[in-house]
Amino acid sequence: MLPAYVPNSAAAAVGGGTPIDGGRYWSDGRRLLGDGKTIRGFIGGVLCGCLVGGIQLFAQSYPPLSVLPQLNPWVIVLLATGALAGDMIKSFFKRRVGIGRGGKWPVIDQYDFVIGAFIFLIIGSPSFAGAYLTLPVIITILIITPILHRVVNIIGYKIGVKEVPW
């Protein structure tokens, strides 16, 4: 899951510039996504997720790590891209319910990128998803994700990358 966990933080760190939605508004008068979702952030986030996945590809050839799921480049791209797509879709719906940039949306904020990564993986590599997304793995991810999400967001806030600690 590292290629899916890294992109959101990386996007916040390297983002800025042109918003993905181009400043456009939905029929409800609210922004499609908002200024926090940028082209540079998306590309940078995906590239950072792929970089971490590349390191995993290299490392998985060493015997102690060979028991981990055997990633491949396509799976890495799916996880990284799916994570940010999930985050963007969540942002779209946050705007629809009136939650502004940086506003809390409990539970959804912690799992949006996981759901996006899972969906991309299931559609783009069903054989990998079927082999590795077992019930114990999914439960472990669902338990670990909110803890990691909170810790990483607090760190991002303290170092000035995030405007809010959630």
Domain layout of the chain by residue ranges: 2-132
Q: For residues 48 and 166, give the distance between their C-alpha atoms in angstroms, rounded to a whole number.
A: 21
pLDDT at 129 (0 to 100): 96
Please give the average per-residue pLDDT across 85-89, as a whole number: 96
pTM score, whole prediction: 0.89
CB-CB contact of 131 with 121 (8 Å) = no
Task: Give a three-class secondary structure readout of the chain.
Answer: CHHHHHHHHHHHHHCCCCECCCCCECCCCCECCCCCCEHHHHHHHHHHHHHHHHHHHHHCCCHHHCCCCCCCHHHHHHHHHHHHHHHHHHHHHHHHCCCCCCCCCCCHHHHHHHHHHHHHHHHHCHHHHHHHCCHHHHHHHHHHHHHHHHHHHHHHHHCCCCCCCC
Indicate the pLDDT class of residue 14, thresholds 50, 70 and 90: very high
Q: For residues 31 and 13, give the distance between their C-alpha atoms in angstroms, rounded to a whole number.
A: 22
Please provide the average confidence, as pLDDT, over all residues in the chain: 91
Q: What is the pLDDT of residues 98-144, one digit of tens each?
A: 998 888 898 898 899 999 999 999 999 999 999 999 999 999 999 99
CB-CB contact of 11 with 84 (8 Å) = yes
Q: Which residue has the higher pLDDT, 150 or 30?
A: 30
End-to-end Cα spacing for the chain: 20
